[in-house]
Structure 1
Amino acid sequence: MDRDILSDVLQAVRLKGALFYLVEAAPPWVVTAPSAQEVAAAVMPGCDHVMEFHAFFEGECWGGPLDHPQERIRAGEIILFPRGDPHVFRSAPDIPPPPPTMSRQGSVPIRLRLGGSGAPAARFVCGFLGCDARPFNPLIEALPRMLRIPAQEGPLDALMRLAVAETTSPRAGGEALRARLAEMMFVEAVRTHLAALPDGTGGWLGGLRDPQVGRVLGLLHGQPAHPWALDDLAREAGLSRTVLHERFAALVGHPPMQYLARWRMQLAASRLAQGSDKVVSIAMEVGYESEAAFNRAFKRLLGMPPAAWRRERGARA
């Protein structure tokens, strides 16, 4: 895979990190987090989609989505909730969870003490990540509800240690550094997850690793404005039209030409949100021959014309 498709997507969906919590918990303890959608406006204003992650650097606990069986979490692990599910962590699996709440006390980074009066038995930092969910975010669709990255030596461990240091002893520039750390930890966690996927795994991430489908994804991402036809892509992949169509759709979830149309819309939406370029210029850049054709395609996918969408996003931000 010559094209760095993962970076393409992360840039186009405007990944953005946010604040940290430092949690120190003494047994018995339990904490629940509401769905990210409920707190998105407070923690990441203007973001379509919010994810929460937790880096456990001391002790053990049980946790997971509220409607799933709980798993044992150990020190050194990083837990992400890419879909923004409400979730719970607790010192023992039989402690009933309270209703989900979100503390907003104090200045960032926020330090929370949970449970009994004894010495903390578990310590972890929590952060948020925001990104675009619409018009098209293939990465979020491809990740599990709970992404669990085991303890390991290497870049992710180093990033976790730095996050802990910047949360326990904040210094000048800490807010900016913590935001970047959240983004870097997410990217490294996704790369770790991708590397660990078994051969034959389906989904968009599996498509990146497939020689033929990955080749086609690289072409679509490398030249999104090119007037691609299925025949062209099949020839580049060394497959027949039918085999490419079926294989691409089975792995990625969309046929090649539908994927291209959605990816063009995501690129266009990112440009609309970030700048003041004319709609016709953006339309040409993503492969449309006329502003009218682009407007129709954009409205069909997002329910409103590009100019109205830009105004609505600006008001939200």
Structure 2
Amino acid sequence: MPVDTLSEVLRAIRLRGAVFYAVTVGPEWAVAAPASAEVAAMVVPGAGRVIEYHVLLEGTAWASLPGQPPVRMAPGDIVMFPQGDAHVMASAPGVPPLPFSMDWMRDTHALPKPLPLAIDGNNLTWGEAVRQPDGHSDIVCGFLGCDHGPFNPLLEALPRLLHVPADGDGAWLRQAMLQAACGMAGHGGGGGSTPGGGALAERISETMFIDAVRRHAARLPEHATGWLAGLRDRQVGRALALIHADPRHPWNVAELARAAALSRSAFCERFARLLGVSPARYLARWRMEVAATLLRQGPASVAAIAFEVGYESEAAFTRAFARLVGMPPSRWRAAPPH
């Protein structure tokens, strides 16, 4: 897999780890988690998208989305919800979930993180009040914020529920999360009392996401389609690497097909089958993603950004941006994160 292409896209989304909880639960439990958009402003202010994740440290847990079969987790497993869906975490399928309430999140918003929580039946406690229930399970729960440009191919390619089983490649995660939780998973304590605990949790969360994406890509079946499958494909992956390495270049089908060692027709068919768009359309969309990032991250003029992404005039770039994104560049720059 052309890892540099994946790294380029991962950098574009600017991951930011945030609120982090060390949760201990009793033998029978279930919690309904809201769509991330409902809590985004509180947990990661200013993020374009918020991704909720859970890592099972000890015990058992099931993760489920409406309309999909539940997923059983083993210790060390990760589940993420890249599209921000409401979901249920439970000790077993069918356990009635404790409804989510914003009250406890508001009450704990200002407390240092990582923060210990305990759920025992319908009782929720945190901080010094946490006690370890009998037959408990320990789960790390947190949120990742990221920039969400108009056409980030990675975020679009990820499933609604991303389950990454613990294995040899991911064995480090469980120990890292235990360390990040400052030994508080399943124990009382003044959340975040260890200096640097919050920053450590944030960095580990960001690394965890990158590792989860890489392992998910490695496990894709041979017949898979989508951006990650295209990245893994030898011929299409070469073309994607060229586009991402130099989006300013006026790439055409002939050049990309030569790099992929395919005829023009075979290359276009393979590219469209895997990615669902033509090479020209993909290039145009990635240029807009790069431009949107530059518009948000710095003071460069629209004209300078137009040149940076391969347009000879500001007017041509502005027309293309408005056509693909739905608003002109100046409005995108001024708008709140999407």
User: Is the shorter-chain TM-score for this pair beyond 0.5, marking a shared fold?
Assistant: yes
TM-score normalised by structure 1 residue count: 0.93
Give the unaligned 5+ runs of structure 2: 122-131, 184-191
Q: Which residue of 1 aligns with 2:331?
A: 308
1:239-254 equivalences under 5 Å are 239-254=262-277
Which of these residues, 235, 256, 267, is aligned with residue 258 of structure 2?
235
| Residue in 2 that maps onto 1:109 | 114
Find the counterpart in structure 2 of residue 158 from structure 1. Answer: 172
Conserved? CA contact 1:272–1:310, under 8 Å: yes
Correspondence 1:139 to 2:144: no
Q: Deviation string for 1:253-284 (max 9, x for gaps)?
A: 22111111111111111111111111111110
**Corresponding position: 1:62 with 2:62:** yes
Q: Is the 8 A contact 1:204 1:251 kept in 2?
A: yes
Letter in 2 for 1:167: A
- Which amino acid counterpart does residue 115 of structure 2 have in structure 1? I
Is residue 37 of structure 2 the alignment partner of residue 37 of structure 1? yes
TM-superposed CA distance for 1:149, in Å, is 1.1
* Shift in Å, 1:3: 6.0
Equivalence for 1:10: 10
Task: Look up the equivalent residue of 2:171 and give its one-letter code.
Answer: D
Greater shift after overlay, 11-20 or 157-166? Answer: 157-166
* Superposition deviation, residue 67 in structure 1: 3.3
User: 1:153-190 deviations in whole A, cap 9, x for unaligned?
Assistant: 34x33233222222245422222222111110000011
1:199 to 2:196 alignment = no
Classify the secondary structure of the residue corresponding to 2:277. Answer: coil
Q: Hey, what does 2:27 align to over in structure 1?
A: 27
For 2:213 and 2:279, locate their aligned partners in 1 and report how far apart those are by CA, in whole Å. Answer: 24
Q: Secondary structure at the match of 1:4?
A: helix
Q: Which residue does 1:80 correspond to in 2?
A: 80
The alignment's C-alpha RMSD in Å is 1.9
In the other structure, the counterpart of 1:226 is 249
| Equivalent residue letter for 1:268 | A
The answer to whether the Cα contact below 8 Å between 1:14 and 1:270 also exists between their aligned partners in 2 is: no
One-letter identity of the residue aligned with 2:326 = G
Residue equivalent to 1:173 = 196
Q: TM-score, normalised by structure 2?
A: 0.87
> How much does 1:2 deviate?
4.9
Point out where structure 1 has 5 or more consecutive residues left out of the alignment: none
Bigger shift: residues 83-92 or 196-205: 196-205
Equivalent residue letter for 1:164: L
- Tell me if structure 2 keeps the 8 A contact 1:24–1:120: no
Conserved in 2, the CA contact under 8 Å of 1:63 and 1:71? yes
Contact preservation (8 Å) 1:53, 1:78: yes
Letter in 1 for 2:114: P
Which residue, out of 106, 119, 127, partners 2:134?
119
Partners of 1:288 and 1:209 lie apart in 2 by: 29
Amino acid at match of 1:140: L
Report how far residue 40 of structure 1 moved: 1.4
Give, in whole Å, the separation in 1 of the partners of 2:285 and 2:15: 18
Residue 183 (str. 1) matches residue 206 (str. 2): yes
**How many residue pairs are counted as aligned between the two chains?**
314
Superposition deviation, residue 89 in structure 1 = 1.2
Q: Is 1:78–1:148's contact at 8 Å kept on the other side of the alignment?
A: yes
Does the aligned pair in 2 maintain the 1:33–1:101 contact within 8 Å? Answer: no
